[in-house]
Amino acid sequence: MGLIHGAVAQVFLILICGIALVTSGWWQRVTVSKKLGAGFTGIKGAIIAVICLVFVQLLLGATMRHQHAGLAIWDFPLAHGQVWPAMDAAAVAEYNENRLALQRQLHAQNQLLDEAGNPKTFLATGKEVQSWHVWLQMLHRIGAVATLVLVLSFVVKARRRLGQAHRFTKASYVLLAMILGQAGMGIWTILSNKAADVATMHVLLGAACLAMTSVLLMVAKRCEFVSDVAGRLAKRESAELPDAGRVTAVAV
């Protein structure tokens, strides 16, 4: 249920952003040339791919959170000192022993609880690490790299098709900065042993990334539509001009 709640919440956020955009003054007054309309058509697929991947990343993150199992991997860029961690029973048992030792070390250094006795980090929660927990976190890392590569590709396409000075291209730079920030927050979450404030900011920024990509897709679709309508009207007017000329000649 927690995962379903998280997914529906993201969809609701997209809906709210869409309502805000559609009811804005920009939505009604935007004008787009035929050339730029073709450019927006060419980058739509990249935006959709980014949205799908960001949404999958959010679902993976929600799945990890709702297991309430803490961190299954607490080092970076390696994972338990390996490029790809072993996931057999003996290795997982060793991970649990190592995490317990780190938990005790943090407790001895007064880094687990604040002055009021509330937890500051959620390295461990009482549940043992399972092999599929490790799988989830590795998939989340791979997804982060794939998302970054895809967003970079989207930015390059926007620059080529719309021009570096176009506001949509500049918005794609903002998205790239957000994705880089999200990756940084994810790394910080690991290295801080899942500090509560850092992990919370990671979740919030992830939702903001999804909202941003969704708004960019709506903008691209609107610009494509406006350009297409303007092109059809221009063709209709040009087709009617010869008829108007003949009527004038007859009247004379």
What tens digit of pLDDT does each residue of 216-241 get?
Answer: 999 999 999 999 888 888 778 777 76
142 confidence band (pLDDT: 50, 70, 90): very high
Q: Residue for token digits 């709210």?
A: 16
In a domain, 70, yes or no: yes
- Does 245 score more than 70 pLDDT? no
In a domain, 220, yes or no: yes
- Does 125 score more than 50 pLDDT? yes
Residue 121 belongs to what domain range? 34-224
Distances 187 to 89, 122, 137, 152, 181 between C-alpha atoms, Å: 26, 15, 12, 19, 10
In a domain, 146, yes or no: yes
In a domain, 250, yes or no: no
- Does 95 score more than 90 pLDDT? yes
Contact status, residue 177 vs residue 152, Cβ threshold 8 Å: no
pLDDT, position 237: 76
Does residue 13 come out as left (phi exceeding 0), alpha (psi in the -120 to 50 range) or beta? alpha
pLDDT, position 243: 57
Count up the domains in the chain and report the number: 1
In a domain, 217, yes or no: yes
pLDDT, position 247: 47
- Share the mean pLDDT of the chain: 91
pLDDT, position 246: 54
Tell me the per-residue pLDDT of 99-124, one tens digit each, with 9 for 90 and over: 999 999 998 998 888 888 888 888 98
Tell me the per-residue pLDDT of 155-212, one tens digit each, with 9 for 90 and over: 999 999 999 999 999 999 999 999 999 999 999 999 999 999 999 999 999 999 999 9
250 confidence band (pLDDT: 50, 70, 90): very low
pLDDT, position 58: 96
Rounded to an integer, the average pLDDT of 9-36 is: 94
Dihedral, 10, 14, 16, 20 alpha carbons, nearest 10 = 160
In a domain, 199, yes or no: yes
Joined together, the tokens standing for residue 32 give 């787009």
pTM of the model: 0.89
In a domain, 14, yes or no: no
In a domain, 237, yes or no: no
